[in-house]
Amino acid sequence: MRRKPALPIRIIVYLAILFVAIIINLPFFWMLVTSFKTEDAAFSIPPSFLPTIFDLRNFVKAFELIPLARYIWNTLFVALTVTLLQLIFNSLAAYGLARIRFRGANVVFMILIGTLMVPPEVTMVPLYVIVKQFGFIDKYSALIVPFMSSAFGIFLLRQFFMGIPKELEEAAIIDGASRMKIFVRIILPLSKPALYTMALYTFLAHWNEYMWPLIVINDAKKQMIQVGISQFVSGWETQWTLRMAASTTAVIPIIILFFFVQKQFVEGISISGLKE
């Protein structure tokens, strides 16, 4: 058993950690406080660290000034659709790559892994051209169709499927189960943790996405929330109390969600070590 250091040292270490935790989260605290301040209070020196109004009037104003409710709805729709489609397609592809031997399986897998190394910024222009030729510009399909499946998700699930004992499937094959039945009845139920982690990543990535909607969506009504809260509407730039209210609306649900699922999330990163 290693012994603890003396009390003063322990207190210093605790204070150091607490200090860092406060500094790191100060921007979010400041956002929250500012969204509950009158404009005069927000623009006062020295700044007050406490809210001055105790109702949601900044939020109401922000929702009036920009179509925030619409943005939230759009983003939820796109992010949930993408997540659902990825659950279906990624798991099917991953199962095929993990279990079914076919000619060129390794080549397909290598190509898939290879695409992980190409960042989206590099393929942004050609992808835009393709999407435009499909006539998807200013449509949700531009945000959904290119992301129906992802190499990262397939890779993650394939690795997980490979770890499931083959004996389970062999027993089912002897009982006369079809591939599809094995997949649905055996593989998927056993892979709940991996599917859950992948779904969380996908949803979060698409809720937070900024660059792609900025490029393919011009119609303000169809915009996603991240572009919506950060774009410059006239008279909007300097209204910091309202902008902070809008940011709070976009950020706080994610932080709350994260507190509930942080275990899966952080472990997912430690295991896969991939993607932010």
Stretch that binds another protein, among 65-73, 78-86, 142-150, 243-251 (CB under 8 A): 243-251
**How many Cβ atoms are within 10 Å of 243's Cβ, its own excluded?**
22
The answer to whether residue 89 forms part of the interface with another protein (CB under 8 A) is: no
Cβ-based nearer residue to another protein, 182 or 194? 194
Phi, then psi, of 38 in degrees rounded to 5: -75, 165
Residue 178: exposed, middle, or buried by beta-carbon count in 10 A (0-12, 13-18, 19+)?
Answer: exposed
The tokens 């949700």 sit on which residue? 140
Residue ranges of alpha helices (H) inside the chain are 7-34, 39-42, 57-65, 68-99, 105-116, 120-133, 141-144, 151-162, 166-174, 179-182, 188-190, 192-207, 211-216, 225-230, 240-272
Residue indicated by tokens 């109702």: 55
Q: Is 40 in the site for another protein (CB under 8 A)?
A: no
Kindly tell me which residue out of 7, 117, 167, 192 binds another protein, with binding defined by CB under 8 A.
Answer: 117
130 near another protein, judged by CB under 8 A: no
- Of 12, 15, 16, 168, which lies in the binding site for another protein, with binding defined by CB under 8 A? 16
Q: By CB under 8 A, name the binding residues for another protein.
A: 2, 4-5, 10, 13-14, 16-17, 20-21, 24-28, 30-31, 34, 42-47, 117-119, 121-126, 128-129, 204, 207-208, 210-211, 214-215, 226-227, 229-230, 240, 243-244, 246-247, 250-251, 254-255, 258-259, 262, 265-266, 269-270, 273, 276
